[in-house]
Amino acid sequence: MPATIRRVNPLLSALCLALLCAGCATTTLNLPPEEPAMHSLSEIKDEYVVQSPDPWVGFNRSMYKFNYNLDKYVLLPVVGGYEFITPVIVQDGISNFFNNLLELRNFSNNLFQLKAVPSFATLGRFVINSTIGIGGLFDPATRMGIEKRTEDFGQTLGYWGMSSGPYLVLPLFGPSNVRDTGGIVVDAGIRMAVVSAIDPFAYVDNANAIETGITALESIDKRHGEKFRYYGSDYPFEYEMVRFLSGKQRELQVMK
Protein backbone atom coordinates (compact mmCIF):
# COMPACT_ATOMS: atom_id res chain seq x y z
CA MET A 1 0.00 0.00 0.00
CA PRO A 2 1.46 3.41 -0.90
CA ALA A 3 2.89 5.27 2.07
CA THR A 4 0.70 8.32 1.50
CA ILE A 5 -2.46 6.23 1.68
CA ARG A 6 -1.16 4.23 4.61
CA ARG A 7 -0.67 7.43 6.62
CA VAL A 8 -4.22 8.72 6.15
CA ASN A 9 -5.82 6.98 9.15
CA PRO A 10 -3.40 8.14 11.87
CA LEU A 11 -3.31 11.65 10.44
CA LEU A 12 -7.09 11.89 10.43
CA SER A 13 -6.96 10.65 14.01
CA ALA A 14 -4.72 13.60 14.76
CA LEU A 15 -7.45 15.94 13.52
CA CYS A 16 -9.85 14.59 16.12
CA LEU A 17 -7.42 13.88 18.96
CA ALA A 18 -4.44 16.23 18.82
CA LEU A 19 -6.58 19.31 19.50
CA LEU A 20 -8.67 17.56 22.11
CA CYS A 21 -9.08 20.50 24.44
CA ALA A 22 -8.80 23.41 22.09
CA GLY A 23 -11.62 25.46 23.51
CA CYS A 24 -11.25 25.09 27.29
CA ALA A 25 -9.41 27.24 29.84
CA THR A 26 -9.97 27.69 33.60
CA THR A 27 -8.64 26.47 36.94
CA THR A 28 -8.42 22.88 38.20
CA LEU A 29 -11.61 21.69 39.89
CA ASN A 30 -12.87 18.25 40.87
CA LEU A 31 -15.72 16.63 39.00
CA PRO A 32 -18.84 15.93 41.07
CA PRO A 33 -19.94 12.29 41.36
CA GLU A 34 -23.10 12.86 39.36
CA GLU A 35 -23.92 15.06 36.38
CA PRO A 36 -25.42 18.34 37.72
CA ALA A 37 -28.60 19.85 36.35
CA MET A 38 -28.26 22.25 33.43
CA HIS A 39 -29.89 25.58 34.22
CA SER A 40 -30.87 28.43 31.93
CA LEU A 41 -30.37 32.15 32.42
CA SER A 42 -34.09 32.56 31.82
CA GLU A 43 -34.52 31.27 35.38
CA ILE A 44 -32.59 34.08 37.01
CA LYS A 45 -30.88 37.35 36.15
CA ASP A 46 -27.10 37.21 36.37
CA GLU A 47 -25.32 40.41 35.39
CA TYR A 48 -21.95 38.66 35.21
CA VAL A 49 -22.85 36.58 32.17
CA VAL A 50 -23.27 38.40 28.88
CA GLN A 51 -25.33 36.56 26.30
CA SER A 52 -23.56 35.73 23.04
CA PRO A 53 -25.17 34.34 19.87
CA ASP A 54 -26.19 30.74 20.58
CA PRO A 55 -28.76 29.72 17.96
CA TRP A 56 -27.86 26.03 18.30
CA VAL A 57 -28.30 25.93 22.07
CA GLY A 58 -29.96 22.49 22.06
CA PHE A 59 -27.11 20.88 20.15
CA ASN A 60 -24.50 22.79 22.18
CA ARG A 61 -25.92 21.71 25.53
CA SER A 62 -26.04 18.11 24.34
CA MET A 63 -22.41 18.29 23.25
CA TYR A 64 -21.46 19.89 26.56
CA LYS A 65 -22.99 16.91 28.39
CA PHE A 66 -21.39 14.47 25.93
CA ASN A 67 -17.97 16.01 26.56
CA TYR A 68 -18.56 15.86 30.31
CA ASN A 69 -19.31 12.12 30.18
CA LEU A 70 -16.42 11.42 27.80
CA ASP A 71 -14.12 13.35 30.12
CA LYS A 72 -15.34 11.68 33.29
CA TYR A 73 -15.48 8.07 32.12
CA VAL A 74 -12.71 7.90 29.48
CA LEU A 75 -10.25 10.77 29.22
CA LEU A 76 -9.61 11.69 32.84
CA PRO A 77 -9.18 8.06 34.00
CA VAL A 78 -6.64 7.54 31.19
CA VAL A 79 -4.84 10.76 32.11
CA GLY A 80 -4.87 9.77 35.78
CA GLY A 81 -3.20 6.46 34.91
CA TYR A 82 -0.64 8.25 32.74
CA GLU A 83 0.22 10.67 35.56
CA PHE A 84 0.47 7.81 38.06
CA ILE A 85 2.95 5.69 36.10
CA THR A 86 4.96 8.44 34.36
CA PRO A 87 7.65 10.37 36.29
CA VAL A 88 7.08 14.13 36.34
CA ILE A 89 10.35 14.81 34.53
CA VAL A 90 9.20 12.52 31.70
CA GLN A 91 5.78 14.19 31.60
CA ASP A 92 7.49 17.58 31.27
CA GLY A 93 9.71 16.30 28.45
CA ILE A 94 6.72 14.91 26.55
CA SER A 95 4.82 18.19 26.96
CA ASN A 96 7.85 20.17 25.77
CA PHE A 97 8.19 17.92 22.73
CA PHE A 98 4.61 18.37 21.56
CA ASN A 99 4.61 22.09 22.41
CA ASN A 100 7.69 22.45 20.23
CA LEU A 101 5.86 20.86 17.30
CA LEU A 102 3.09 23.43 17.77
CA GLU A 103 5.63 26.17 17.06
CA LEU A 104 5.23 25.26 13.37
CA ARG A 105 1.54 26.20 13.61
CA ASN A 106 2.44 29.34 15.56
CA PHE A 107 5.03 30.30 12.96
CA SER A 108 2.73 29.85 9.96
CA ASN A 109 -0.08 31.87 11.54
CA ASN A 110 2.21 34.67 12.69
CA LEU A 111 3.42 34.74 9.09
CA PHE A 112 -0.16 34.80 7.73
CA GLN A 113 -0.79 37.83 9.94
CA LEU A 114 2.33 39.58 8.60
CA LYS A 115 3.84 39.76 12.09
CA ALA A 116 7.53 39.80 11.26
CA VAL A 117 9.06 39.89 14.76
CA PRO A 118 6.78 37.19 16.25
CA SER A 119 7.39 35.03 13.15
CA PHE A 120 11.17 35.17 13.58
CA ALA A 121 10.85 34.66 17.35
CA THR A 122 8.67 31.59 16.84
CA LEU A 123 11.02 30.14 14.23
CA GLY A 124 13.93 30.83 16.58
CA ARG A 125 12.17 29.01 19.41
CA PHE A 126 11.61 25.98 17.19
CA VAL A 127 15.23 25.86 16.00
CA ILE A 128 16.71 26.36 19.48
CA ASN A 129 14.44 23.86 21.20
CA SER A 130 14.87 21.31 18.39
CA THR A 131 18.68 21.49 18.65
CA ILE A 132 19.87 22.66 22.05
CA GLY A 133 16.66 21.33 23.56
CA ILE A 134 17.32 17.83 22.16
CA GLY A 135 14.42 17.51 19.78
CA GLY A 136 12.15 19.69 21.89
CA LEU A 137 12.38 17.64 25.10
CA PHE A 138 13.66 20.75 26.86
CA ASP A 139 12.71 24.42 26.48
CA PRO A 140 15.92 26.49 26.55
CA ALA A 141 14.30 29.16 24.34
CA THR A 142 12.03 30.25 27.20
CA ARG A 143 14.99 30.43 29.59
CA MET A 144 16.76 32.56 26.99
CA GLY A 145 13.86 35.02 27.13
CA ILE A 146 12.30 34.23 23.74
CA GLU A 147 8.59 34.63 24.32
CA LYS A 148 6.15 32.07 22.95
CA ARG A 149 3.76 33.64 20.40
CA THR A 150 0.78 31.28 20.25
CA GLU A 151 -1.36 31.71 17.13
CA ASP A 152 -3.83 29.54 15.24
CA PHE A 153 -5.81 29.97 12.04
CA GLY A 154 -8.94 30.99 13.92
CA GLN A 155 -6.96 33.92 15.32
CA THR A 156 -5.63 34.65 11.83
CA LEU A 157 -9.17 34.85 10.44
CA GLY A 158 -10.14 37.15 13.30
CA TYR A 159 -7.06 39.29 12.71
CA TRP A 160 -8.20 39.90 9.13
CA GLY A 161 -11.67 40.92 10.25
CA MET A 162 -13.79 37.78 10.19
CA SER A 163 -16.38 37.70 12.98
CA SER A 164 -16.51 34.72 15.29
CA GLY A 165 -20.02 33.70 14.28
CA PRO A 166 -22.36 31.71 16.55
CA TYR A 167 -21.16 29.81 19.58
CA LEU A 168 -20.53 26.12 18.92
CA VAL A 169 -19.63 23.29 21.30
CA LEU A 170 -17.71 20.63 19.41
CA PRO A 171 -17.41 16.96 20.38
CA LEU A 172 -13.95 16.46 21.96
CA PHE A 173 -12.81 19.99 21.09
CA GLY A 174 -15.16 21.74 23.48
CA PRO A 175 -16.37 25.39 23.41
CA SER A 176 -15.67 27.11 20.09
CA ASN A 177 -17.41 29.10 17.36
CA VAL A 178 -17.95 28.83 13.61
CA ARG A 179 -14.82 30.81 12.68
CA ASP A 180 -12.54 28.85 14.99
CA THR A 181 -14.00 25.54 13.82
CA GLY A 182 -12.86 26.40 10.29
CA GLY A 183 -9.50 27.40 11.76
CA ILE A 184 -9.11 24.01 13.43
CA VAL A 185 -9.68 22.29 10.08
CA VAL A 186 -7.11 24.48 8.30
CA ASP A 187 -4.49 24.06 11.04
CA ALA A 188 -5.03 20.29 10.97
CA GLY A 189 -4.65 20.30 7.17
CA ILE A 190 -1.37 22.21 7.38
CA ARG A 191 -0.14 19.85 10.07
CA MET A 192 -1.14 16.85 7.96
CA ALA A 193 0.79 18.20 4.98
CA VAL A 194 3.92 18.87 7.05
CA VAL A 195 3.81 15.46 8.74
CA SER A 196 3.33 13.74 5.38
CA ALA A 197 6.35 15.58 3.97
CA ILE A 198 8.76 14.86 6.86
CA ASP A 199 7.27 11.68 8.31
CA PRO A 200 10.24 9.75 9.78
CA PHE A 201 8.16 6.55 9.92
CA ALA A 202 7.15 6.53 6.25
CA TYR A 203 9.13 3.39 5.43
CA VAL A 204 9.23 1.74 8.84
CA ASP A 205 7.44 -1.54 9.54
CA ASN A 206 4.30 -1.08 11.66
CA ALA A 207 4.41 2.67 10.94
CA ASN A 208 0.63 2.97 11.40
CA ALA A 209 0.83 1.61 14.94
CA ILE A 210 3.72 3.93 15.80
CA GLU A 211 1.99 7.02 14.42
CA THR A 212 -1.31 6.14 16.11
CA GLY A 213 0.54 5.65 19.39
CA ILE A 214 2.19 9.06 19.07
CA THR A 215 -1.17 10.67 18.31
CA ALA A 216 -2.71 8.99 21.37
CA LEU A 217 0.19 10.14 23.55
CA GLU A 218 -0.20 13.70 22.27
CA SER A 219 -3.91 13.61 23.10
CA ILE A 220 -3.22 12.34 26.62
CA ASP A 221 -0.58 15.02 27.10
CA LYS A 222 -2.99 17.74 25.97
CA ARG A 223 -5.65 16.64 28.45
CA HIS A 224 -2.98 16.30 31.13
CA GLY A 225 -1.98 19.94 30.59
CA GLU A 226 -5.55 21.27 30.49
CA LYS A 227 -6.95 22.16 33.91
CA PHE A 228 -10.58 22.62 32.87
CA ARG A 229 -13.12 20.22 34.38
CA TYR A 230 -16.69 20.09 33.09
CA TYR A 231 -19.23 20.90 35.82
CA GLY A 232 -16.34 21.62 38.17
CA SER A 233 -17.22 25.24 38.94
CA ASP A 234 -20.16 24.54 41.29
CA TYR A 235 -21.86 27.39 39.42
CA PRO A 236 -25.49 26.59 38.47
CA PHE A 237 -25.16 28.38 35.13
CA GLU A 238 -21.81 26.93 34.12
CA TYR A 239 -22.82 26.50 30.48
CA GLU A 240 -23.44 30.25 30.10
CA MET A 241 -20.33 31.13 32.10
CA VAL A 242 -18.10 28.95 29.93
CA ARG A 243 -19.69 30.36 26.78
CA PHE A 244 -18.99 33.90 27.99
CA LEU A 245 -15.43 33.26 29.21
CA SER A 246 -14.37 31.26 26.16
CA GLY A 247 -15.72 33.97 23.88
CA LYS A 248 -13.95 36.75 25.76
CA GLN A 249 -10.72 34.77 25.80
CA ARG A 250 -10.80 34.41 22.04
CA GLU A 251 -11.53 38.10 21.61
CA LEU A 252 -8.45 38.97 23.66
CA GLN A 253 -6.30 36.47 21.75
CA VAL A 254 -7.35 37.95 18.42
CA MET A 255 -6.75 41.51 19.62
CA LYS A 256 -3.25 40.96 21.02
Q: Is the pLDDT of residue 176 over 80?
A: yes
Q: Is the distance from CB of 152 to CB of 109 less than 8 angstroms? A: yes
Partner residues linked to 176 by β-bridges: 168
Domain ranges of the chain: 3-30+50-87+151-255
Share the mean pLDDT of the chain: 81
pLDDT confidence of residue 195: 74
Query: 8-47 b/e with 16+ CB inside 10 Å = b?
Result: eebbeebbebbbbbbbbbbeeeeeeeeebebeeeeeeeee
Tens of pLDDT, residue by residue over 59-82, are: 999 999 999 999 999 999 999 999
pLDDT class for 1, splitting at 50, 70, 90?
very low
Collapsing DSSP to helix, strand or coil, 168 comes out as strand
Separation between Cα atoms, residue 238 and residue 256, nearest integer Å? 27
pLDDT confidence of residue 235: 83
Q: Is the pLDDT of residue 199 over 90?
A: no
Q: Is the distance from CB of 183 to CB of 157 less than 8 angstroms? A: yes
229's CB contacts (< 8 A; 6+ apart) are 28, 29, 30, 31, 71, 76
Separation between Cα atoms, residue 200 and residue 28, nearest integer Å? 36
Other Cβ atoms less than 10 A from the Cβ of 183: the count is: 22
Return the minimum-mean-pLDDT range out of 45-54, 107-116, 216-225, 241-250: 45-54
